Structure 1
Amino acid sequence: MVSVAFAVSSLSMGGIERVTTTIANGLASRGFDVTLVNLSHRKEFFPVRTQRHLRPGWLSYNWWRIKRKISYVFCGDDHGYTWEPWIRSQFKKGKYDYIILNPDFFVFYDIVRQLHPESKILLWMHNNYDIYVDKYFKEQLKLLKHAVRESDGIICLESYSAQRWRQLNGNIHLIYNPLTLDDQGHRSSLLGKTIAATSRLVKEQKGLDYLLAVAESVPDGWQISLAGDGDDRGWLQSEIENKGLAGKLTLCGALDDDALDEHYANASIFLSTSRWEGFPLVAAEAMSRGLPFVSFDIPAMREVTDDGQYGFLVPLGDTTRMGEVLGELTDDADLRRRYSDLSLERVKDFSLDQVLNKWAELFNE
């Protein structure tokens, strides 16, 4: 039996956490010996059904958090309180054929390798290559590239990033994230005058400034319904009021799966204004409900739409053209139905069974 450890820094509400538990649970149900290594002892939003779930003790973890907070308040930083002690404590036992590291672990690659020299260690890239190199790991780029070169393989979500990482590591695996919303949900009737959008409310990445510009051009009688929450909700709400867009752009807040199903089923188009993504789960969710797909032309969306064959891709930042595409779809029910069928066809490639097959192939090589 192949033994696999997946490492996460927490199971808080987030895409990486949701996908990791979905894949780990799915492989465990298929007979793989799966351990989830969790560095946090905080509230968990996703169920864990693996054979083992390792995490720090409540008392020791929270005492560490208190000391880290004190260090930040009195010393101005908490650099002395990295994840390193928890990585050492959680990885000091166990023996694994494969270890899958999520991004928070990349800079600690050497520690995991030291503790498990016998394991094959793979890095799971959840975002675009350029964003990791130029933004998220800009100050730790040497550590990131070292981990990439020394690891036994890289798991990527889309082709552009796979091509770029292949320059540093030849063992690249392209595996999509799976659809995590129940596949028995409703199909949109395409009759409602709502354009669905779903994202964290983070201005830069999710292009909320672009969204405001697009909302201004939404045809009369139509509105954008935005599900999600985040740090920039206050800013966005204020901008909606200042620009007089209350009738064109509505904030729904964070939605559970049942409410999200209704969010898509009641809409007739799905819209994304993201500047960058890894592999957008919300795109697959919306397509699984039969929504025509409109987004900017970024690597992740090229992958989702197979270079625009299954949806509309607009040059990044061209909100005028995006408004025109939305106008074409709102005016033409037949066009919506055609792209609804294409969405339902494409989303088959993102089914959990298909994705788990790819992971099983990786571990059974």
Structure 2
Amino acid sequence: MKICIWVTKIFDLGGTKRVVTLLANELVKEHDVTIMVYQDRFREDRTMYHMSEDIKVDFIDNDAFVDRHWTPAFGARFVIKKLNENYGIFNKKCFNHILGDALFPKKTRDRWVEYLNQQDYDIIITTAALSLRLGMIAPRLNAKTIGWQHNCYSGYVDVPKVVFWKQECLLQEYLPQLDRYIVLSDYDKRDYQKFLGIDTEVKINPRSFVSEKKCNPDAKRFLMATRFVYAKGLDLMMQSFEEFCKQDDEWELDIIGDGELWDEILAEARKRHVDKRVHFIGYTNEPEKYYLNSSVFLLPSRWEGWPMVIMEAFEFGLPVIAYHMGAMDLIIDDQKTGFLPEAFDTHKFTEAMLKLAHDDELRHQMHRNAIEKSADFNIDKAVVAWNDLFNRLMKE
């Protein structure tokens, strides 16, 4: 089959980029796979997530599809988007044509339909906000269409000014136009049905690698691998680690990753006097050595879909502490492969850190449990599930 995966970025940090590359690397063994991306060619870096050379990358010049010249129509669309973003004025079924045109103008849709049909794809997969746009043009495309969610329902719909904020009526009209809409957990499937009346299909994300090497469960080191953005709860982490350090003199914390809040979080660490025990690594092409040198993984996120980092942590044998929200209890077995303190109680999070840090026997047992749990997220199972979906769609 000829498959297109349409994303905004691929050569950049983030769980979505990693899992898209992971799946594409497997699918290209059986199919003709193209990743279509809004990035300049000079950003191409296949080493970041070990992208196969067999995958084609279509670098899209968005200016060829979108009129960016300031005209009365352009100004009107800008005002409509801002009014809806701030007040939800156009988030009504009777205004779907107005808001839809503001987000994805008719001329732009026509150009995309022409371009995508020219490529003669069998299947087109989009992620996140692009799923809504694909739904708007799906009936006019020759290919089967799939929207693929990479965050929990609330992370897409309930977070101010992010992804589908105040766009529920558009979702109700256009997501059902897709041949399938994929979500990450049964919780998300329930929420899309309950709040929007939209039927979905569940596909869990697999682990991104298999490692014969495992972490040292005696290492007195916590690890985070994250982007420095509000959703990831780094400010909550600094609160918990400050409290932890008042009761422990030995354990340290490594944080790999970067992002827009880098300076703010470094300042927060200094303010709380934990900067000597928190090591801000930044972006690295060698995350493995940090997993191997740690014994507990921390995930203080405010919202998540199906975090790849948990599967990675389990593969190395690190138990995970994460707030009890979203699909966390479908991935982490509380008190077996980690702890799920109440969201977003930083004191409870600290208590879980102290328990694992100071109970060697428990930490060793959770280390073994995490390794065993990792097998549940085998990439082969995911590929079989996706191929089954493709075959079903092509028969419809």
Question: 2: distance between equivalents of 1:93 and 1:28?
Answer: 21
Question: 1: distance between equivalents of 2:138 and 2:347?
Answer: 50
Q: Does the alignment pair 1:241 with 2:270?
A: yes
Q: Does the alignment pair 1:296 with 2:300?
A: no
1:91-170 equivalences under 5 Å are: 91-116=116-141, 118-135=142-159, 136=162, 137-167=164-194, 168-170=197-199
Q: Matched residue of 1:138: which SS?
A: coil
Alpha-carbon contact 2:232-2:302 (below 8 Å) kept: yes
Residue 314 of structure 1, CA deviation: 0.7
Distance 1:68 1:239, change over 3 A: farther
The range that moved more, 239-248 or 228-237, is 239-248
Specify every segment of 5 or more residues in structure 2 that has no aligned partner in the other structure, as ranges: 82-101
Distance 1:18 1:336, change over 3 A: same
Distance 1:169 1:144, change over 3 A: closer
Residue 359 of structure 1, CA deviation: 1.0
Residue 3 of structure 1, CA deviation: 3.5
Alpha-carbon contact 2:104-2:133 (below 8 Å) kept: no
Distance 1:120 1:308, change over 3 A: farther
Question: 1: distance between equivalents of 2:69 and 2:356?
Answer: 51
The alignment's TM-score, normalised by the length of structure 1, stands at: 0.86
Residue 334 of structure 1, CA deviation: 1.1
Question: 2: distance between equivalents of 1:9 and 1:105?
Answer: 8
The range that moved more, 272-281 or 247-256, is 247-256
Distance 1:90 1:346, change over 3 A: farther
Distance 1:277 1:308, change over 3 A: farther
Question: 2: distance between equivalents of 1:363 and 1:306?
Answer: 32
Residue 323 of structure 1, CA deviation: 1.1
Alpha-carbon contact 1:5-1:96 (below 8 Å) kept: yes
Post-superposition CA distance 1:292-330 (Å, at most 9, x none): 111110123222215665321110011111111111111
Question: 1: distance between equivalents of 2:103 and 2:168?
Answer: 20
Q: Matched residue of 1:297: which SS?
A: coil
Q: Does the alignment pair 1:206 with 2:232?
A: yes
Alpha-carbon contact 2:135-2:178 (below 8 Å) kept: no
Question: 2: distance between equivalents of 1:225 and 1:279?
Answer: 22
Alpha-carbon contact 1:179-1:352 (below 8 Å) kept: yes
Residue type of the alignment partner of 1:220: D
Distance 1:326 1:16, change over 3 A: same
Q: Matched residue of 1:7: which SS?
A: strand
Q: Matched residue of 2:216: which SS?
A: coil
Residue 111 of structure 1, CA deviation: 4.8
Specify every segment of 5 or more residues in structure 1 that has no aligned partner in the other structure, as ranges: none
Residue 340 of structure 1, CA deviation: 0.8
Post-superposition CA distance 1:6-35 (Å, at most 9, x none): 211222312222211221221121x13333
Residue 269 of structure 1, CA deviation: 0.7
Question: Which position in structure 1 is the counterpart of 2:26?
Answer: 26
Post-superposition CA distance 1:26-64 (Å, at most 9, x none): 1121x13333233433413443545644333xxx65788
Instruction: Report the identity percentage.
Output: 26
Question: 2: distance between equivalents of 1:296 and 1:186?
Answer: 28
